Amino acid sequence: MRQLHAENIAKFVEPFQVKPGSHVVLGRDFDPAYKAGITNKKEGVELLRQGIELLADYQERLAAQDTYGVLVVLQALDAAGKDGTIRHVMSGVNPQGVRVHSFKVPSAEELDHDFLWRYAQRLPARGEIGIFNRSHYEEVLVVRVHPENLDRQKLPKEAKGKGVWQRRYREINDWERYLVDNGFRIVKLFLNLSKEEQRIRFLRRCDLPDHNWKFSASDARERERWDKYQLAFSEMLSNTSTEWAPWWVIPADRKWFLRIGAAAVIAQTLIEINPRYPKVSDEQRRQLLEVKAELEAEAPKGAAPDPFQEKLMKSSADGGESARSDEEYE
Ligand code: AMP
Ligand code: MG
């Protein structure tokens, strides 16, 4: 059975990457039903478990190191599985270290600012993973497919003429480069759904009473603009997959595979950052030993001076692991 671990994950995610500078035609270049040859459900379940475990481990180190931040950008057509991906992929991660934000139709206040303003307000801090459920890329997707959105943005005449999309690509690339240069890595995931699978998922929303709330007649109408969206996504991928912040196209027709793919790409980014627990300085160590001696001296009559140390010694057979992971001390 295949394994996902720090040594082989780069190879697993490689087919998803949009090579910087390449010209993408979605329908030709990426298969929404790809599943990396995984045929056995048990293998899929196990790979997702391993991906989630890697994420949890590295996220803890990211938070402890407090030097780098990670921004995960999720873009997709309706019903591709953005919400489910967040729910499953982040299920093992400490909620204190993750911040999710969903971007909707911009407010009047947001429209009164430059187009990147509202996204800049929601960036993760160092040590955090920030997730954008929709993102600044809507500014070259829905705004492009529905140009009336651009009219609402109150831009001066010279800023909305011909060339506006090329200019936005450049501005987004520059903004992302600035973030990366300052310690914020960006993981951009496009969840790639086929038209037929979207049809089936919309029908599911109609047919299952507890999914009716997800159904939106306007989503179904957006489907009529499928080709326009495919083109806008292809252009976005071609123009904004950069060396510093590449796009990853994750096959989305099988939800279980989508989750493995997304977990693997995010984990791979954390592995590259390789965050480490901070080392204590000689001075901190000296203080630590001083306090330890004081605490040991406080032991009540008959009690071991350091009961935890005793446990550690007893579990030396497994390198102290059983003592370290003992719930009592977590
Ligand atoms: P949902 O994600 O289903 O809650 O829907 C959010 C809606 O907000 C979608 O219809 C998006 O197209 C829309 N939206 C998100 N960002 C923008 C934007 N920058 N300009 C216009 N509409 C947007
Ligand atoms: Mg929606």
CA distance 166 to 154: 19
The residues facing 69 across adjacent strands are: 184
Q: Is the pLDDT reported for residue 319 higher than 90?
A: no
Q: What percent of the chain has pLDDT over 90?
A: 88
Atom 12 of ligand 1, nearest CA residue: 142
What pLDDT does 317 receive? 75
Atom 17 of ligand 1, nearest CA residue: 105
Q: Which ligand is nearest to the CA of 153?
A: 1
Confidence of residue 6 (pLDDT cuts 50, 70, 90): confident
| DSSP helix, strand, coil percent of the chain (3-state; round to 5) | 55, 10, 35
Is the CB of 315 within 6 Å of ligand 1?
A: no
CA distance 167 to 39: 44
Is the CB of 143 within 6 Å of ligand 1?
A: yes
What pLDDT does 328 receive? 57
Is the CB of 139 within 6 Å of ligand 1?
A: yes
Average pLDDT along the chain: 95
- Mean pLDDT computed over 77-100: 96
The ligand 1 atom nearest the CA atom of 216: 3
Which of 134, 145, 191, 201 has most ligand 1 atoms within 8 Å of CB, for mutation? 134
Which of 75, 105, 114 has most ligand 1 atoms within 8 Å of CB, for mutation? 105
Atom 23 of ligand 1, nearest CA residue: 105
Is the CB of 149 within 6 Å of ligand 1?
A: yes
Measured in Å, residue 308 CA sits from the centre of ligand 1 at 53
The per-residue pLDDT for range 19-46, each reduced to its tens digit, is 999 999 999 999 999 999 998 889 999 9
Confidence of residue 88 (pLDDT cuts 50, 70, 90): very high
What pLDDT does 2 receive? 82
Is the CB of 169 within 6 Å of ligand 1?
A: no
The ligand 1 atom nearest the CA atom of 78: 3
Q: Are 313 and 307 in contact (CB under 8 A)?
A: no
35-39, 102-106, 164-168: lowest mean pLDDT where?
A: 35-39
- Counting Cα atoms < 13 Å in the Cβ hemisphere of 12 gives 26
Sequence letter at residue 130: G
Q: Is the pLDDT reported for residue 307 higher than 80?
A: yes
CA distance 296 to 262: 48
For every residue of 71-125, DSSP letters joined together read EEEEEE-TTS-HHHHHHHHTTTS-GGGEEEEE--SPPHHHHTS-TTHHHHTTPPP
- Mean pLDDT computed over 215-223: 92
Q: Is the pLDDT reported for residue 109 higher than 90?
A: yes
CA distance 233 to 230: 5
In angstroms, how far apart are the furthest CA atoms of the chain?
A: 83
Is the CB of 103 within 6 Å of ligand 1?
A: yes
Is the CB of 222 within 6 Å of ligand 1?
A: no
Is the CB of 106 within 6 Å of ligand 1?
A: yes
Measured in Å, residue 144 CA sits from the centre of ligand 2 at 17
Confidence of residue 224 (pLDDT cuts 50, 70, 90): very high
Atom 9 of ligand 1, nearest CA residue: 104
The per-residue pLDDT for range 129-165, each reduced to its tens digit, is 999 999 999 999 999 999 999 999 999 998 988 899 9
What pLDDT does 40 receive? 87
What separation in angstroms does the CA of 200 have from each of 80, 194, 295?
A: 11, 10, 64
